[in-house]
Structure 1
Amino acid sequence: MLFDDEERGLNGSHLFVHDHSFELRATRAMINLDMVGVAAQPLGVAAHEDLRALVRRVAPEARAFEDEPQSTRETFGRSLNITGRSDHAAFKPLGVRTLFLTRGLDTHYHSAGDKALSPALVTGAADLAERLAQAVRAAPWTPRVPCGITGRNCR
């Protein structure tokens, strides 16, 4: 799936999550590939805590990194969830486990020189995403039932 309007606030992925939140609760994982066609850094994976061991087993060569921490921002008395800078962030508030694959930002990001894309790097990232998807699908998993606003029903 491709999302649009990421740069102005993850609008495409937020809209998708809003419209399909009930169905998404049964999603084993959301795998997001962003900036995988540039050689800024070695391919890295930020994984939900439940999936970190699986990533180490499937791709021990992958650079592990921590995604941006979840935070909130107050705007006119309302709290807005601000999590990460890529489309997987929209899935986190639902409890959907995420795998974020990226090579980071290169020096030409959003500039006139932003033309370099390596098909080989994209293929390598897609191959890793496929291996991770197969491993996630094969691994035992029990969906977490939402526990309400107060958390009283959490188990």
Structure 2
Amino acid sequence: MVNLINSMVDKIKVDVWGDMFVIAEITDGQITGNPGPGDPAPVVGPDIQAGPSGLILTSRIGSGFEHFVRYELWDTWPDPLETWDELWTGELGIASGTIAIAEWASFEPKEFPAFDVGEKGLSWSARVLTKVMSNTEEPDFPDDIYKIQLYRLQLWRKL
């Protein structure tokens, strides 16, 4: 049986300077992951770039909208979610034991809460899923009267 060990939800509003944000390792309140803010990384799938200890996510809904990230720590490979788009599955190094979101391009750094995976010095199996939600309930109104993008970053011990 697959069990969720811990989870946390955070959000970021992608600003007018770009359509990207980072999820990366954080050490003592500072983003130390690779890639971090402003760093390039290899493209590993649509809307995602991955480095050894960080991810760059590209919004599907553009600047000015909120994006919610749910971090999930599992005891083993979690079951797929059929209504979500899988962006990437791979390995993510989190030596410090904590990760956080950050703006990819910003003139002023902002602090976001860290998610603690409970152990230091490990690399984790990881999967990133996404879903865009907009107005589908009221067809008489535009579908973009509200839009949000949801992400799940699922982590579990490497098998």
Same fold (TM over 0.5): no
More strand by share: 2
Larger Rg: 1
| TM superposition score category, shorter chain reference | under 0.3
More helix by share: 1
Quick one: higher RCO (CA 8 Å, sep 6+), 1 or 2? 1
Q: TM-score, normalised by structure 1?
A: 0.24
Q: TM-score, normalised by structure 2?
A: 0.23
